[in-house]
Every structure is written in C-alpha cells, then in structure tokens.
A and B are shown apart, each in its own frame.
Chain A
Amino acid sequence: MEAITTLIIAKYNYWAVILLIVIGLYAMIAKKNLVKKIIGMNIFQTAIILFYVSIGAKRGATLPIIVHAHGDAAHAIHAADYINPLPHVLMLTAIVVSVATLGVALALAMKIYFHYGTLEEDEIQKKIMDREPDKVATSGEHL
C-alpha cells in the first residue's frame, strides 16, 4: 500500500498528461466539427506544455527568481534551491505561438464555412463529391 501511494505521488502528473493527450487526440480524430477539432488541438498542446512543466518541477525548491539578488550579493546561489527555468522558457513561447496558430486555424475554418455553408466534415465532403470534378478545380476563383 505504501509503495502504491509513493508511485501515485511520483507519477500522477504524467498520467494526467496522457489522459489529456488522449482526449485531445480523440477530439481531433473522431469529432466531425472543425471547431471541435481545433479545441482538441489546443487541449493536446496544453497537455504537452504540462508535461514540460512537470519535468521542470523540483521538490522543495522555489520560483526561478533569484532572491536578494541586488542586496549584498555575498550569498552563493545553489541550483537545487530553484525550479528548473529552462522548460518554462520553452513553453512560454509555445503558448504564445499556440494562440497565433489558433488564429490561423479559426481563419481557415471560417473560410471553409463561407465556401461550403457548414463546419461539419462529412457534409463538406458530400458537397465536394456532389460537384462536378471540373467545377471543384476552379471553385477557388470565386470565393
């Protein structure tokens, strides 16, 4: 029993990451609505970010901001006292890029909606199939 509790405390974040990855991937594969797919993509992204942040966590350490940095400066800085800042830096930029990609993805979804009148994947496919092949090739011109 003791060993199982230790195991859970040591690994539960990774399991949550796996669960979130599975949820996001399921939404991207199985949901037919394009906005739902985009939400799934964002859940996937945050799961990856959570994975990186869990790797950087350190028990008994404080935030990666040096304390009394501009004081007498006579004290030594031990790396074990501060949480690993490197994953935070990588993920900080990843979050801002994720909102930029979200904007592009939503713009694409809106363009598809204006063209086909629906956001459902199967209905879009049906509309493409219904058109004649030569019309499909030139349909991009009169958007």
Chain B
Amino acid sequence: MIWQLDLIILLMVVICGISAISIRDLLGSAIMFGAYSFMMCLLWSIMGAVDVSFTEASVGAGVSTVFFVAAVFRTTRRTRD
C-alpha cells in the first residue's frame, strides 16, 4: 500500500462522486458514476482486496452503468438539480 498513490486516487474518487451528483444531465451522471466505480475499484486493488475490486470492476463499472443508461433511456435525461 503506497499512501501517496492512495491519496491521489481517493481525490479522484471524491471528485467523481461530487460530479456524479451535481451534473444537470442524468446520462452524464450515469457515466460519471461508472467512472467513480472504476476509480473505487483501482483503490481497492491497491489496498489488496483483489476479489472485491474484481467484483466492483464487473458490477459497478459494467452492469450498473448499463442499468442506469437503460433506465435513463426509457425515462428522461432532464433533471433540475
């Protein structure tokens, strides 16, 4: 565990998380959430939790982004906040 690298990725995670909830477009929000999940998976693989990060890479960055995009496609991209 290298704490400098860890801190940089943690910063990226927080930036991705904040932008995922503040973008005024739900499709962009979904994509930023995918980026957030992928950064989180990098962080966990640095911390040695390989099984968890493998699961997060396939579930969080893969399938849940697809679910979000499908739901946004079927409903609306509009959001007021």
Residue positions of A touching B, CB distance < 8 A: 9, 12-13, 16, 19-20, 23-24, 26-27, 30-33, 35-36, 39-40, 42-43, 46, 49-50, 53-54, 56-59, 61-65, 83, 87-89, 91-92, 95-96, 98-99, 102-103, 106, 109-110, 113, 118-120
Contact = CB atoms under 8 A, between A and B. Distances in A.
A99 B67 contact: yes
A96 B59 contact: yes
Interface string B1-36: 101001100100110011011000010011001001
Contacts of A95: 52, 55-56, 59-60
Given A40-B21, A43-B21, 14 more contacts: A19-B14, A23-B17, A36-B81, A42-B33, A43-B36, A49-B52, A50-B44, A59-B1, A87-B49, A88-B49, A98-B64, A106-B70, A113-B75, A118-B76
**Interface size class of chain B, counting residues whose CB lies under 8 Å from the partner chain:** 35 or more
Contacts of A119: 26, 75-76, 78-79
B43 A92 contact: no
Contacts of A30: 81
Interface of B: 1, 3, 6-7, 10, 13-14, 17-18, 20-21, 26, 29-30, 33, 36-37, 40, 43-44, 47-52, 55-56, 59-60, 63-64, 67-68, 70-72, 74-76, 78-81
User: Which DSSP category, helix, strand, loop or mixed, fits chain B's interface?
Assistant: helix
16 contacts: A20-B14, A32-B80, A36-B79, A39-B21, A39-B30, A42-B60, A43-B33, A46-B40, A56-B49, A89-B51, A92-B51, A92-B55, A95-B55, A99-B63, A103-B67, A119-B76
Most buried by B among A9, A20, A46, A102: A46
A39 B48 contact: no
Contacts of B71: 35, 106, 109-110
A48 to B, nearest CB: 12
Q: What 9 pairs across the A-B complex have the smallest Cβ distances?
A: A106-B71, A27-B21, A113-B75, A33-B79, A83-B48, A16-B10, A53-B49, A99-B59, A95-B55
